[in-house]
Amino acid sequence: MKRNMFASVAVSTLFLFGSQAVLAQQDRDRAQQDRDRTSGFYMGLGTGFGSLENDRDEVSDFIGSGASDFSIDDDDNVWRGFVGYNFNQYLAVEGFYSDLGEVTLRGNEDGANSSIRSSAYGASVLGKLPIGPYVEAFAKVGAAKWDADVRGNLGDEGRTLRSQDGFDPVYGVGMQVNLNAFLIRAEYERYDFDSDYKIDAFTASVGWRF
């Protein structure tokens, strides 16, 4: 009886240690797979919200309305997609397209409204700092071809409001969590379209690393 109990305990102990060894090896394998993906392609899609950083006079100058008595509503969703390449765990390049939503200008006296819908596409260089095995911080700088489409009749009805476009800097910071092939990202970006029109975007994204 004692020998049978001893054998059962021994088998249970071996099974426990064996299970722990297998789990530890699986953790090591996953960590190695994650390290193997520090170089290579990735892509993602995200959403969030944008915020206009200019006052009424600056926005009026930007679209040529000549109006000053209006309120600004810039509470709108932002959408973005990106494709990038990691050279290593410290450096990456990224191409992106961003739909920056719509800013609405509401006249306080005559009720006239105008809207400015903005979008941008371009490329950035990312400098990354690993924080532990799964998390990294990053900062990025790049350039964007942007377009701001203006619609409506704010201000003097005889004026033609100006749609704008250009090629200007974009930069930002963020954090990314790498879970094997998947990535989860949160970031802030500044789209510096014009001295009279700057948009801050706050987005959360999910993606895939190849």
CATH number, domain of 102, equals 2.40.160.20
Query: Is 58 in the same domain as 28?
Result: no
| Average confidence (pLDDT) over 25-49 | 74
d(CA 76, CA 134) in angstroms, rounded, equals 32
Domain count along the chain: 2
Query: Is 67 in the same domain as 143?
Result: yes
Q: Tell me which of 122 and 30 has the higher pLDDT.
A: 122
Q: What is the model's pTM? A: 0.78
Task: Give yes or no for residue 88 having a pLDDT over 60.
Answer: yes
Query: Is 91 in the same domain as 175?
Result: yes
Query: Is 27 in the same domain as 116?
Result: no
Query: Is 64 in the same domain as 120?
Result: yes
User: How many Cβ atoms from other residues are within 10 Å of residue 77's Cβ?
Assistant: 13
* pLDDT number for residue 107: 81
Angle 43-99-52 (CA atoms, 0-180°, nearest 5)?
Answer: 125
| Average confidence (pLDDT) over 155-172 | 84
The mean-pLDDT minimum among 7-11, 95-99, 182-186 falls in 7-11
Query: Is 141 in the same domain as 68?
Result: yes
What does the H/E/C string look like for the chain? CHHHHHHHHHHHHHHHHHHHHHHHHHHHHHHHHHHHCCCEEEEEEEEEEEEECCCHHHHHHHHCCCCCCEEEECCEEEEEEEEEEECCCCEEEEEEEEEEEEEEEEECCCCCEEEEEEEEEEEEEEEEEEECCCEEEEEEEEEEEEEEEEEECCCCCCCCCCCEEEEEEEEEEEEEEEECCEEEEEEEEEEEEECCEEEEEEEEEEEEEC
Q: How confident is the model at residue 38 (pLDDT cuts 50, 70, 90)?
A: confident
Query: Is 30 in the same domain as 89?
Result: no
Query: Is 103 in the same domain as 194?
Result: yes
Query: Is 86 in the same domain as 108?
Result: yes
User: What's the chain's Rg over C-alpha atoms?
Assistant: 26
Query: Is 24 in the same domain as 112?
Result: no
Write out the residue range of the structural domain in which residue 16 sits: 1-36
* pLDDT number for residue 3: 47
Q: How confident is the model at residue 110 (pLDDT cuts 50, 70, 90)?
A: low
Contact status, residue 32 vs residue 74, Cβ threshold 8 Å: no
* pLDDT number for residue 152: 83
Query: Is 119 in the same domain as 203?
Result: yes
Query: Is 13 in the same domain as 59?
Result: no
